Chains A and B, each alone.
Chain A
């Protein structure tokens, strides 16, 4: 009896402490460690949400005249709708799905657009060292008592594997994941661009090998990102949201130039697989994989999805056109469309 009374007392003590934490300290902690939670709270009453990694932004090294985000360019086509974006650099569907859980029940969101980055399905990204901080922040992406969430962070109750462990898993995948080509292109470990560019000292050899490591994989249902996208479909359906997957553009011309036709072939095959899988489920998919020429990509020494202004606008136009499906009577040409066509 004495023990039972104390257990109950501890429970009430916890409730009181949780209230104190929520009242006085939570916002500051979220601001420092998981600012996306605050972002979600702010935007829960908008019409359309665009959720992505850093591809939404104007690159630092650009001369863009209009440095606005890709999502803002989409919004230009729907001036009567309220658009908002959630951006978290280096994130992916696994993080997005956790963020979606914390949307308030009575939100006004009608449509969710999810940026799908083809590289986020590869072993390198899945086992990236950035996963640990992302997973740490994601502990706060749920509706448990915030004091308990904060405690879980202190207990490292998230996937906090070391960089070495993650690298080991990645290297193993590069060795055992088969590609649909003959040796030496049968897996990432064997496949290099040595034949074409010579040894590793050659800058093009380095870049070509980066491309191979980023895009040479075969997507299937067991890929963790596919499972994440499946869960996003379930969440969107349960919340009654329109859902659109936006497959981002990749520098497929450069992949062809640096590595040869097999790499673009596998990139197309993967993006087609994703497109078909979700079209079959009634999801709107915008496949922008091959939309942009190489000069719209900001990075010169690594494959990425950082686009210059013209590239962002081209992607935005395609997405906006597909959005007409949900907002047919609200589409208006963006003021910059005319200029864009003449550039």
Chain B
């Protein structure tokens, strides 16, 4: 079930009403059933995968917690990681690995690859990268004694499958989310208002900004060989806006939906395009993923307390894995590599210490240029397309394609960027709280009308669903 769909707009209030009508001790059962219904709505078969992941991690964590035997604990941790990463590899990377890595590098012969392609036809299950990461972090936390394991398998299943953040995050930690799911909560006007505002603004930036920008981006990237350099530049910038508004919109609806149920999820974005460095960008963009990589990859690799060479290697590994996490394609690896290298160069050049008033705009410009150029790799089908796109963008090509710009689209994009930069509109709740009633209702009216009358009319799934 997707957030910007009629079934969800019926499902969410129905669950919220039932949730508060039920006695507090039974509410988690409703949430579990609702979460499995929400996920199974895509394909019932997907439920088997999340159930496997849940069962393995439940057993692994319970055994790890109850065992004093070092090897046994390590074996169960390995089993958990192997199962989750194995599922991820099978569904997300196996096809790419066989066709784009193993076959060209002659690791496997063409016959074996052909047989694999005949046998394996399964599409990537929605959200698998998100919930496997969430559940893996739980097992690791139990292993290191950071959290106590959940004894009830069904309660643990709710932690893995909690529907607002199941398919595209934010990726939550057990220590933050789990207890909230079972605490008794009263229906408060504050929660309804807070959740409602986030959902309204999330729908606006997804449906009015991302979905209206998407056709232009598709056109420019689809016809990049006929587009002028200026149009290619616009295509790059617009994709940066599309992916931000698409994913930020999704996250806000997720956070808002959880808030209606009295549950606070972590923020996922904090004005990332105002960053003055790549390092800062990664404290503002997809925060739940970047902190996950910091805690479960970077620090175990040695983190910052290592030689400069080892630290550089760790940084590169994290960014390459992060790129690969987004998708099975060389383009995502290239995207990760660009960010990783830029991060290292910043460190070597003392970029982050250039604090003067004169340098800040320059730092912002350089950071934005790197981020947006990297988006070209992220959006392109392959490396050749991405490099050709960038080459054409800088070679002053004048041939042009017909693009339909509407003043309304520009207004939406402008409003979104200004609100994000100036008002930190992602935190619309606090912003509105400081305003008088007529301004609040004026904003509600504007957002509601824009969503209902001017959303995109072509179906564009949330970009991060494919990850």
Contact = CB atoms under 8 A, between A and B. Distances in A.
Interface of A: 2-3, 9-10, 13-14, 16-17, 20-21, 25, 33, 136, 147-148, 150-157, 160
18 contacts: A17-B445, A17-B449, A20-B449, A25-B453, A33-B457, A136-B457, A147-B452, A147-B453, A148-B452, A150-B452, A151-B455, A154-B4, A154-B455, A155-B4, A155-B5, A155-B6, A157-B5, A160-B459
Interface string B5-33: 11001000000000000000000000000
Interface residues of B, number: 20
Given A17-B445, A155-B6, A156-B5, 17 more contacts: A3-B189, A9-B441, A13-B445, A17-B448, A17-B452, A17-B453, A20-B449, A21-B449, A33-B457, A147-B449, A148-B452, A151-B451, A151-B452, A154-B4, A154-B455, A154-B457, A156-B459
Q: Is the interface of B mostly helix, strand, loop or mixed?
A: helix
B409 to A, nearest CB: 14
Interface string B429-456: 0000000000001001100110111011
B207 A154 contact: yes
B56 interface: no
B192 interface: yes
A14 B6 CA distance: 17
List the 4 closest pairs (A to B, CB-CB), nearest first.
Answer: A154-B455, A151-B452, A157-B6, A156-B459
B451 A154 contact: yes
B13 to A, nearest CB: 11
Interface of B: 4-6, 9, 189, 192, 207, 211, 441, 444-445, 448-449, 451-453, 455-457, 459
A33 B444 CA distance: 27
Nearest to A32: B457
Nearest to A147: B452
Contacts of B453: 17, 21, 25, 147, 150-151
Nearest to B189: A2
Q: Which of A17, A154, A160 has the most chain B CB within a 10 Å cutoff?
A: A154
A10 B9 CA distance: 16
Please indicate which of the listed interface residues A20, A136, A151, A152 has the most CB atoms of chain B within 10 Å of its own CB.
A151
Nearest to A148: B452
Nearest to B4: A155
A13 B5 contact: no
A7 B456 CA distance: 27
Contacts of B456: 154
Contacts of A156: 5, 459
Contacts of B449: 17, 20-21, 147
B445 A3 contact: no
Contacts of A25: 453
A54 B436 CA distance: 56
A25 B456 CA distance: 15
Contacts of A160: 459
A14 B4 contact: no
Contact of B448 (A14, A33, A152): A14
A155 B9 contact: yes
B192 A153 contact: no
Contacts of B448: 13-14, 17
Contacts of B455: 151, 154
B203 to A, nearest CB: 9
Nearest to B444: A13
